[in-house]
Structure 1
Amino acid sequence: MSGQGDGPLRLDAQRNRDKILRTARALLREPGELRLNAVARASGVGQGTLYRHFPTREALLAAVYERDVDDLVAAAPELLASLPPLEALSAWFERVTAYARLKRDVFAALEVGTWRDLADHSLGPIGDAIELVLAAGRADRSIRPDVEARDVIILISWLSRLDDHELDTRGPVLLAVLVDGLRPQLS
């Protein structure tokens, strides 16, 4: 999808690719359609460089989305290494809010078939990240034993339907309610 072939990228090519992805992610927040020439200009790379990495707008948007999924998934074990499971899940939910915002923007910019493929691709790794934290919480009894990763995915799916204001105001409160609901019930 990235036009990079089978081998690893040279260091300068990887830097350019990363810069393009960061810039495209930031420009997605601006009104209007994401244009490749605007991404190239704001990234400080030539259009040829951009097209070598991302031959189409869809390829660029898919790569931005996939990078966010990868970052979100990688955050779960990192947070779990430094925080108790329930706190790790709560901190991870904060990152889910940023992911939901990007998901909404990317999916709005893509055709239906493309975004369905992306959504299907992300559910497995995100579910695995959630299950990692849930399993640790079940093991130390800080998280209910009856909750599965799919339950959490269903409960957090509403985030991508909120506008920015609601994500900022209601999102943290609703995620805190979810975390509280994951605590074991006292008898």
Structure 2
Amino acid sequence: MPRADAERNRARLLESAARAFQAGGDPTLEKIARDAGVGIGTLYRHFPTREALVEAVYRTELEALCRDVDPGPHAATAFRAWLDRYAEFVLTKRGMADTFRAMVADGSLTSLRTREQVDAVVGTFLTAGAADGSLRPGIEPDDVVTLLVGTFVTLQGADDRARTGRLLDLVVCAARSTSPPAASRTTARTTPRRSPA
């Protein structure tokens, strides 16, 4: 099979698997292959085991989550938007739960370094937010991630997007700076004072 065709089949399998896992339940590999428009033999050529498929889906989505992070001119706003993506990433893994637990138990997921990658992204937002005045300086990224993990564990099995949003609002609210943004401080310093009439 030409390499380009093989890559397209692999991409279709990953998309099909991601949809199936997000839907919950325990999707069969046959269904995933069928929905991708390929045979089960093609699936096994790319992913010899269910664990290999789960890891590939997880790795692909984790890389997308942590890639091209842009805090923009107002890091607190960008951070809150990214947290929605992070929540979606975590809360749509229900169909992978049993396989994940087995992989965690045997150490298969150690190489993914999920916590380190998420910590790095959160650190990017916190550094930018401290610089633009939208987030308090001195916050440890891992402290924020610990709060987030606690939130997601509490909501495990729930599909309450409204409550998830409120809890993420609280996390960002706790991290927000009480000082005016950097641009406002600069304006205040450069605006000449009027002499009293």
Aligned residue type for 1:108: D
Query: How many angstroms apart in 1 are the aligned matches of 2:108 and 2:78?
Result: 29
Match of 1:118 among 109, 123, 131: 109
Query: How many angstroms apart in 2 are the aligned matches of 1:26 and 1:161?
Result: 24
Mapping for residues 81-160 of structure 1, pairs under 5 Å: 81=72, 84-114=74-104, 117-118=108-109, 121-157=113-149, 158-160=151-153
Query: How many angstroms apart in 2 are the aligned matches of 1:31 and 1:133?
Result: 31
* Structure with higher helix content: 1
Deviation at 1:161, TM superposition (A): 4.3
Deviation at 1:99, TM superposition (A): 0.8
- Residue of structure 1 equivalent to 2:26: 33
Query: How many angstroms apart in 2 are the aligned matches of 1:136 and 1:144?
Result: 10
In the alignment, structure 1 residue 52 sits paired with structure 2 residue 42 = no
In the alignment, structure 1 residue 69 sits paired with structure 2 residue 62 = yes
The verdict on how the C-alpha distance between 1:38 and 1:111 changes in structure 2, with shifts beyond 3 A counting, is same
- For structure 2, the 5+ residue unaligned runs are 180-197
- Residue of structure 2 equivalent to 1:165: 159
Query: How many angstroms apart in 2 are the aligned matches of 1:174 and 1:111?
Result: 26
Deviation at 1:121, TM superposition (A): 2.0
- For structure 1, the 5+ residue unaligned runs are 1-8
- Percent same amino acid among aligned pairs? 33
CA RMSD of aligned residues (A): 2.2
Aligned residue type for 2:117: P
The verdict on how the C-alpha distance between 1:161 and 1:71 changes in structure 2, with shifts beyond 3 A counting, is farther
Deviation at 1:176, TM superposition (A): 0.8
Greater Rg by CA: 2
Q: Deviating runs (4+, > 6 A) in structure 1?
A: none
| Deviations 1:112-139 (CA, angstroms, capped at 9, x unpaired) | 3437643662111111111111111111
- The range that moved more, 9-18 or 36-45, is 9-18
- Residue of structure 2 equivalent to 1:6: none
Aligned residue type for 2:53: L
Q: Match of 2:178, SS?
A: coil
In the alignment, structure 1 residue 23 sits paired with structure 2 residue 13 = no
